[in-house]
Amino acid sequence: MLPQEIIKAKRDGKTLSPEQIAFFVQGITSGGVTEGQIAAFAMAVYFNGMVMPERVALTEAMMNSGNVLQWDHLNLDGPIVDKHSTGGVSDSVSLMLGPMVAACGGYVPMIAGRGLGHTGGTLDKFESIPGYNIQPDQDDFQRIVKEIGVAIIGQTARIAPADKRFYSIRDVTATVDSIPLITASILSKKLSAGLEALVMDVKTGNGAFMTDLEKSRALASSIVQVANGAGVNTSALITDMNQALGDTAGNATEMREAVEYLIGKRRNPRLHEVTMALCAQMLLRSGLATNTAEAESKLNDALDSGKAAEVFGKMVHALGGPADFVERYDHYLPKAPVIMPVYADAPGYVTQVATRELGLVVVSLGGGRTNPEDAVDHAVGLSQLASIGSYVDQDKPLAMIHARDEAAAAMAAVELKASIGLSENLPTLDPVVYEILTKDSIKES
């Protein structure tokens, strides 16, 4: 086989065989396929797409380009299950979800990512905890998952190396926005954890990667069909990202909100709805519950009994963080020197949020990155974010800004106010969860 013949076939709209796809992906990994050939292949897929068997073959080939975790030797007494989100603003769900599902009997080997652009990253949030090690060796990672039920860490160079090279070339050739390639990129990394079940959170709205509901649905459908085709029981939720998901945005600010959620101090209704819906699907997909009511009952027990918070604390300590982090989180998490309320110029109801721009306020404060190599200030961010439908006035701020200095706070206040629209009338609220897609529901539609 020759790379150029595979490119030609896809350019001409033909369906590639699993062998052709495996050969090409092997060349991406080994260097046997040039950057120009990868770019041409990506562009051919961008314009001609891929049928589902091609998408499954591409996902499996990219997954098998590196390490695929094996769990049989650990004799786990429950299912291996995970969740992935396409990213957004104030999306701290993973921080609570992993411990909640572990407390219900699942094993969650979560390999998470960093924030880039306006979206926050799970790893950056965990690095706000002193000592937390996002890069344990594989044996320690698997041991912690077995002993505690969950470990949330970063991707290593041994996981889906084909994706790393492929994505870097897609990024500079305007071929990132291809549903078959997005599907393979996400799933090759996720499925390399040796999962039995997976739940996807596909965001839609002005703060999401896919801003259009139909495109979000197409991506969710593709992921569900490909992951099930690869033998992993998978469903997907389409959830709203037309405003921040929780009360906070940043790293330490979101970690503080996550701990307070787990211990029952406060639970933002939108954040709670998405977290519970994703967790319930994880229990259903993995066989830990037979219906939604049973799943929700188990999850509420995990929260109310304190078991989910206990699991979270054990995970933090096992990965190098303080043993008493849950009890003394406010002592350990960094605090910004300047914490300032931002008030609207006139009272009214919050009717719309430019969510991407809101996320960029955190970036401008130093809490995010526009380049993968950028350093992050874990202390800065936003809290007490006013949600759509809430009334703001001289007593109720739009948000609290956590900044490194007064000048940064003042600049962020201007950007924050520009990202929020007000009205005298109460707005109509978007759904929080638009729909749930399963293998069977897609077949029926």
What six digits make up the tokens of 18?
Answer: 């699993």
Catalytic residue among 10, 55, 84, 314: 84
Catalytic pick from 10, 55, 59, 82? 82
* 404 assigned to active site: no
Calculate the CA dihedral of residues 223, 226, 231, 237 and round it to 10 degrees: 20
The catalytic position among 125, 190, 298, 314 is 190
User: Is 298 among the residues known to form the active site?
Assistant: no
User: How far is it, in rounded angstroms, from Cα 409 to Cα 118?
Assistant: 18
Q: Identify whether 351 is a catalytic site residue.
A: no
* 84 noted as active-site residue: yes
Catalytic choice (65, 86, 185, 355): 185
Catalytic position from the list 10, 189, 267, 356: 189
185 is catalytic: yes
List own/partner pairs for 28-37 with CB under 8 A and 24 or more apart: 28/65, 28/162, 28/165, 28/166, 29/65, 29/66, 29/161, 29/162, 29/165, 32/3, 33/3, 34/3, 35/169, 37/3, 37/4, 37/7
Residue of 10, 114, 164, 170 marked catalytic: 170
Q: Which listed residue (122, 248, 253, 419) is catalytic?
A: 122
Which of 10, 83, 125, 356 does the annotation list as catalytic?
Answer: 83
- Residue 190 appears among annotated catalytic residues: yes
Q: Is 178 a catalytic residue?
A: no
Which residues participate in catalysis according to the annotation?
82-85, 122, 170, 185, 189-190
